[in-house]
Amino acid sequence: MKLPISDRLLACASFVKRGDRVIVCHVSRGDLGHVIIPPEELYALTGTQTMRINTLYQLYYLAKYRPELIERCDKILFTPDLMAYLLTGKMRAEKTIASTSNFLDPRTREFSTELLDKLGIPTSILPEMIEPGEVYGTLTDGICEELGCDKIPVVVPKVGVIKIGKEEIDLIVKYIKEA
């Protein structure tokens, strides 16, 4: 099966490089500029542990050192969302995987545009967010033709999702700040 975007795909990984299509992002913890955002503040904003594999560091690297690639970017997609895009042609971000990015605000359950702005990462690259259990879209015409099937919906898995409310998140943030 030919991928519909193989000639346009830009990916960011810390372990692979193939031509100009995949960018190697060796980003150290200190390179995020903890002078800009102290680790404690970042954790309080996102509730995510500071790890250089998180998407925030990858995007910061690109914004700082390879801005021409960010300028070419339409939307970022996390790996499961990329798979769904290849099946449906819809660019969306499922919230539980987006929470691993280090720029999802757990209080609002939306991307922290304030944080991204602070780091010089354009928010125009953020896709629409969807909840677990929602439909990404249906299989593309090309896939249906190749498989000889009808338009089948592609649904976000709803596995082990825990929903907590604003009160619980406020308590967690208060605990973090007092620790």
Q: How far is CA 34 from the centre of its chain?
A: 21
Tokens found for residue 5: 């975007």
Residue 164's pLDDT is 53
- Residue 80 falls inside a structural domain: yes
Where are the alpha helices (H) located in 37-100, listed in sequence order?
39-46, 55-65, 67-72, 79-88, 95-98
Q: What is the pLDDT of residues 102-130, one digit of tens each?
A: 899 988 999 999 889 988 899 999 999 99
Does residue 88 lie in a domain region? yes
Task: Give the C-alpha separation, 106 to 45, whole Å.
Answer: 8
Query: Does the pLDDT value for residue 1 go beyond 50?
Result: no
**Residue 58: inside a domain, yes or no?**
yes
Structural domain tally of the chain? 1
Q: Which of 117, 24, 103 is nearest to 66 (CA)?
A: 24
**C-alpha dihedral sign at 102, 154, 84, 160:** positive
52 within a domain of the structure (yes/no): yes
Could you tell me which residues come within 8 angstroms of residue 94 by beta carbon, excluding any fewer than 6 positions away? Answer: 78, 80, 81, 84, 129, 130, 131, 132, 156
Decide if 56 is inside a domain: yes
% of the chain exceeding 70 in pLDDT = 67
Which of 18-22, 87-91, 141-145, 148-152 is least confident?
Answer: 18-22
Domain that holds residue 93: 11-178
Tokens for 151?
């338009």
**Residue 63, in any domain of the structure:** yes
Q: Round to whole Å and give the CA distance between 42 and 100.
A: 13
In a domain, 1, yes or no: no
Q: Is residue 71 part of a domain?
A: yes
The CATH code of the domain that includes 32 is 3.30.420.40
Q: Tell me what the mean pLDDT of segment 1-24 comes to.
A: 41
Which tokens in the block code for residue 56? 């925030």
Integer Cα distance of 177 and 117 in angstroms: 23
Average pLDDT of 46-58? 79
